[in-house]
Amino acid sequence: MFLKKYNVSIEVKTPFNIASGEADGYIHKRTVRLKGEPYIPGSTIKGKVRSNFYKLTLANHIDGMCDCPVCNIFGGQGYKPSRIYVDDFVLNDTAKDEGQCREKKAPVFIKVGNAIDRYKKTAKHEALFITEMVKPAVFTGTITVYFDEDTLRYKQDLELAIKMIDSVGNGRSRGYGRVKVYLEEVT
């Protein structure tokens, strides 16, 4: 068993929202929070990495008991546990500006929009919505992978799949959540 650990930084270049499923009378989509701060769930990143890895390897995946590289690394049916563990990505608040710490600004803001009637190509009547958005920032986390002899040959594909992440959250077609991923192998 070969343990590989990666420090990953995700630089979010445009505002984004990863909805928490919570809503109140005003805000339609609240962003996910950990200890009051926005974060990117590890499951969101793992899903994107799995999708990218599947595209790279062109795996012959079948339903049920499967022995493809995707199932061997990300887990599959039966007793086939995942070999990749993705931590939640938290806001990196160590950013410095010219040697001095910047004053901490609120990373969340409110975006107001109006729903569109796609058939009539006009704004829907009384369809105002409010979404909580996260400002561009840097989020950091770790990804741990346990390779064996069979899966070690897919190490470069897995690293490329991580670097291929280009967006997080919803609203990608509107330019939200564009990201740049930086990967550093630790062990």
| DSSP of 81-119 | --SEEEPPEEE----EETTEEPPP---EEEEEEEEEETT
Alpha carbon 99 to chain centroid distance? 30
Closest CA to 56 of 157, 151, 165: 157
The pTM (predicted TM-score) of the whole model is: 0.83
For residue 57, pLDDT over 60 is answered with yes
Q: Where are the beta strands (DSSP E) in the chain?
A: 2-12, 33-34, 37-40, 84-86, 89-91, 96-97, 100-101, 108-117, 122-134, 138-147, 179-185
The 10s digit of each residue's pLDDT in 62-99 is 887 888 899 999 998 888 899 999 999 999 876 544 34
Band (pLDDT 50/70/90 cuts) for residue 130 is: confident
How far, CA to CA in Å, does 21 sit from each of 17, 130, 137, 162, 171? 11, 14, 22, 26, 16
Higher pLDDT, 163 or 27: 163
pLDDT at 28: 66
**Domains annotated on the chain, with CATH:** 2-93+108-185 (3.30.70)
Give the per-residue pLDDT at 99: 44
Phi and psi at 65, nearest 5°, equal -70, 110
Quick one: average pLDDT of 103-123?
80
pLDDT for position 118: 85
86: nearest Cα among 168, 177, 1, 171: 168
pLDDT for 102: 46
Q: Is the predicted pLDDT of residue 107 greater than 80, yes or no?
A: yes
Residue 77's pLDDT is what?
85
Predicted pLDDT of residue 157: 95
Asked if residue 109 has pLDDT above 70, the reply is yes
For residues 155-183, give the mean pLDDT.
Answer: 93
pLDDT range class, residue 115, cuts 50, 70, 90: confident
